[in-house]
Amino acid sequence: MIRRVLAGVALAVIPLTAQVLGTTGATARTASGMVTTAGTPCANLAALTIPNITIKSATMVAAGAFTPPGAQSPMTVPAFCRIEATARPTSDSDIRFEVWIPPSDAWNGKFQGVGNGGYSGAISYPAMATALRRGYATASTDTGHTGDDMKFGQGHPERIIDWAWRSIHVMTDAAKVIVRDHGGKLPDRSYFNGCSSGGHEALSEAQRFPEDYDGIIAGDPANNRIRQTFAFLWSWTATHTMDGQSILPAAKLPLITKAAIEACDGNDGLKDGIIDDPRRCHFDPIKLLCRNGSSGLAGNDDATCLTQAQVDAVKKVYDGVKSPHTGEQIFAGWPRGSEGFGDSPIQGWRQYVMDPAEPMRVGFFRYFLFHDPNWDWRTIDWDRDLAYAEQKLPFMQAVERDLTPFKRHGGKLLMYTGWADPVVPPQDTAAYYDSVVKTMGGIEKTREFFRFFAAPGMGHCSGGPGPNQFDTLAALEQWVEKGVAPDKLIASHITNGKVDRTRPLCVYPLVARWKGVGSTDEAANFSCVTAEPPSAPRRTATPSSNQR
Ligand SMILES: [Ca+2]
């Protein structure tokens, strides 16, 4: 219903009349020889009338340095027309968004909506600049509030909806109208590109508004949002005492990752410092138990081993949330290999599990669910509270398995994740894909419009020991515009600005396997094959000369 009511509302309102076109003078000739007229000059866009949208400003920005609001340092951008606007689809809404449009000679004729991170609260200027540099008209929104915490939801149910799905759709509709008015035509193609919360937004668009976009990139999607939030609370309570003391010192996380990789690196037949698929890794942290049997809290033990309490904590994070009553798995645990693989807090369990003084996203329970700023995480009832949350806030989810409307629209969906993601457990992302495959009639029928790529050893959206830089947009453009579906993406690992390893990321569920000759750091020496059954691990390959 939501889809039918809202989709196309804005587009239907402003006919692009000859009179509107006549206000400009600029004309251009398309490849087919048809003369088109560039639309309203940038500065005049401020006078554009779109229902529920207020355009605050429309200004030309010259090529060069541009410092977006809130940024410490400038970005380098090509010239563009910058439109600042606010959408108020409800009386309580305050959805700020910007639309950036290249000059006609630089515009590729396409539109790209870009997604957010965390609980958003900020326009994604760097992603907009990236889209602009590739010739796209682009838009981003603050999703209807400012800041990354969740207090905005207290007493503002409509703003929670704005954040959950409405802002991206409203932004998309309005941006297309603005682009049409300035560029003289609707975008030839529209893409959405997001990771993390942006991945959630991407899947929400494919599910709720299948006609908004022709191509959608969903990275490390936090689409199973309610259970993901319960899992944050679970992992925090697993690694902290009831009075909030940390059981597991962050300094020990790299030790655990090292041991997990040692245990599981060879499962894929190649000792290369990367766990290929953590679902096939069953490393038990008891292997790290201190030999002197020391136990107790952090600080009383040896830096090279784990106390029994620490072993138990790590196991709980791996295992994920289970119903204490039925044993049902509520949400996947964090993968082996994600514990601590890098120096920054997001390259391991620090940022979302270990470091917060309270469970990450506890504001969800306080401000979205129970409307009680004093809600105490110790009172969680996993079954009762989960049932209540899923009944009360279903719009926070983007877990629909039937994507028939998006497929029928001709849409193409490219989803990716990092197999070492310490924020959104990749096992849940794979499980979502598997469930869509089941619903949509099998892997072949699903691959016609929806492909999934998992990057071994990649963290949350980027980083990690595995090759983690790859061009999803170029692959999706080929698929949408030329009908060439991606069977693999070539990923690079970069150290100090230098590529030191490339690998294919194979279309799921295929996996990359070394051919047995040549450097294990070159993608060309790998094939995409069906994974070996976990019960019969392949013989360890003969190491190549430069293997690490
Ligand atoms: Ca390996």
Predicted local distance difference test score (pLDDT) of residue 192: 98
Q: Determine the distance separating the centroid of ligand 1 and the alpha carbon of 286, expressed in angstroms.
A: 22
Taking residue 536's Cβ as centre, other Cβ atoms within 10 Å add up to: 6
Predicted local distance difference test score (pLDDT) of residue 30: 38
Q: Determine the distance separating the centroid of ligand 1 and the alpha carbon of 261, expressed in angstroms.
A: 8
**Phi and psi (nearest 5°) for 370?**
-100, -10
What is the average per-residue pLDDT within 246-259? 96
Q: What is the mean pLDDT of the chain?
A: 90
Q: Determine the distance separating the centroid of ligand 1 and the alpha carbon of 474, expressed in angstroms.
A: 28
Q: Determine the distance separating the centroid of ligand 1 and the alpha carbon of 56, expressed in angstroms.
A: 53
Report the candidate in 323, 469, 343, 452 with the shortest Cα–Cα distance to residue 383.
323
Q: Determine the distance separating the centroid of ligand 1 and the alpha carbon of 450, expressed in angstroms.
A: 27
pLDDT digits (tens, 9 = 90+) for 17-29: 333 333 333 443 3
Predicted local distance difference test score (pLDDT) of residue 301: 67
Q: Determine the distance separating the centroid of ligand 1 and the alpha carbon of 45, expressed in angstroms.
A: 54
- Percent of the chain's residues with pLDDT above 70: 89
Q: Determine the distance separating the centroid of ligand 1 and the alpha carbon of 456, expressed in angstroms.
A: 9
The DSSP H or E segment spanning 195 is strand 190-195
The band of 14, judged by pLDDT with boundaries at 50, 70 and 90, is very low
What span, in angstroms and rounded, lies between the C-alpha atoms of 147 and 253? 29
- From residue 29, alpha-carbon distances to 35, 110, 186, 331 in Å are 4, 17, 16, 54
The band of 33, judged by pLDDT with boundaries at 50, 70 and 90, is very low
**In this structure, are residues 144 and 156 in contact, taking their beta carbons and an 8 Å threshold?**
no
Active-site residue list: 196, 421, 460
The DSSP H or E segment spanning 183 is helix 167-183
- Between strands 53-61 and 111-114, the pairing is unpaired
Predicted local distance difference test score (pLDDT) of residue 26: 40
**DSSP character string of 441-470:** TSHHHHHTTEEEEEETT--SSS-SSS--B-
Q: Determine the distance separating the centroid of ligand 1 and the alpha carbon of 508, expressed in angstroms.
A: 17
pLDDT digits (tens, 9 = 90+) for 474-527: 999 999 999 999 999 999 999 999 999 999 999 999 999 999 999 999 999 999
Joined tokens for residue 38: 């560039």
Report the candidate in 74, 193, 141 with the shortest Cα–Cα distance to residue 477.
193
Q: Determine the distance separating the centroid of ligand 1 and the alpha carbon of 457, expressed in angstroms.
A: 9
Burial of 62 (C-beta count, 10 Å sphere; 0-12/13-18/19+)? exposed
Report the candidate in 478, 487, 519, 493 with the shortest Cα–Cα distance to residue 505.
487
Q: Determine the distance separating the centroid of ligand 1 and the alpha carbon of 266, expressed in angstroms.
A: 5
What is the average per-residue pLDDT within 366-371? 97
CB atoms within 5 A of ion ligand 1 belong to 265, 268, 270, 272, 274
- From residue 320, alpha-carbon distances to 227, 261, 339 in Å are 10, 20, 14
Would the pLDDT of 81 be above 60? yes
The DSSP H or E segment spanning 349 is none
Enumerate the β-bridge partners of residue 285: none
What span, in angstroms and rounded, lies between the C-alpha atoms of 63 and 78? 4
The H helix count followed by the E strand count for the chain is 16, 17
Predicted local distance difference test score (pLDDT) of residue 28: 39
The band of 532, judged by pLDDT with boundaries at 50, 70 and 90, is confident
Q: Hunting for tokens 């009179």 — which residue is that?
A: 19
What span, in angstroms and rounded, lies between the C-alpha atoms of 216 and 412? 6
Q: Determine the distance separating the centroid of ligand 1 and the alpha carbon of 252, expressed in angstroms.
A: 22
Mean pLDDT check: name the lowest of 62-76, 166-180, 288-302, 351-365.
288-302
Helix ranges (H only) for 367-460 are: 382-392, 404-409, 426-439, 443-447
What span, in angstroms and rounded, lies between the C-alpha atoms of 19 and 90? 31
What span, in angstroms and rounded, lies between the C-alpha atoms of 77 and 69? 15
280 Cβ partners below 8 Å, 6+ apart? 264, 267, 268, 531, 534
What is the average per-residue pLDDT within 46-54? 95
Q: Determine the distance separating the centroid of ligand 1 and the alpha carbon of 62, expressed in angstroms.
A: 48
Q: Determine the distance separating the centroid of ligand 1 and the alpha carbon of 271, expressed in angstroms.
A: 5
**In this structure, are residues 305 and 290 in contact, taking their beta carbons and an 8 Å threshold?**
yes
Would the pLDDT of 329 be above 50? yes
Q: Determine the distance separating the centroid of ligand 1 and the alpha carbon of 272, expressed in angstroms.
A: 5
Taking residue 247's Cβ as centre, other Cβ atoms within 10 Å add up to: 18
**In this structure, are residues 483 and 437 in contact, taking their beta carbons and an 8 Å threshold?**
no
The band of 291, judged by pLDDT with boundaries at 50, 70 and 90, is confident
Predicted local distance difference test score (pLDDT) of residue 20: 34
Predicted local distance difference test score (pLDDT) of residue 534: 64
Q: Determine the distance separating the centroid of ligand 1 and the alpha carbon of 276, expressed in angstroms.
A: 5
Burial of 245 (C-beta count, 10 Å sphere; 0-12/13-18/19+)? exposed
The band of 198, judged by pLDDT with boundaries at 50, 70 and 90, is very high
Q: Determine the distance separating the centroid of ligand 1 and the alpha carbon of 347, expressed in angstroms.
A: 19
Provide the whole-model pTM: 0.91
Q: Determine the distance separating the centroid of ligand 1 and the alpha carbon of 110, expressed in angstroms.
A: 40
State which amino acid sits at residue 95: I
Would the pLDDT of 177 be above 80? yes
